[in-house]
Amino acid sequence: MNIMLGGEVAEIVRRAEHLLWVVARCDVEGLSSTRNTALHNLRRLEERAAQLNSTDLYREVLDHTVFS
């Protein structure tokens, strides 16, 4: 996938980026229930991204974060 994402994959990447920040904040603040919910949602996003042939959601998030 290239840096210029479009459509549903772009939305998945944006949501995954947000959830990764939520997980990081939960780790700092010790909020395990919120962290577990965020991780569950990340797994669902990973599954949907795979259905859309985006095989590495975390690479997509990194590319989007670094180059946006």
- Domain boundaries defined on the chain: 7-67
At 11-29, the pLDDT tens digits run: 999 999 999 999 999 999 9
**pTM, 2 dp:** 0.81
d(CA 16, CA 19): 5
Q: Nearest-CA neighbor of 17 among 54, 60, 67?
A: 60
pLDDT of residue 55: 78
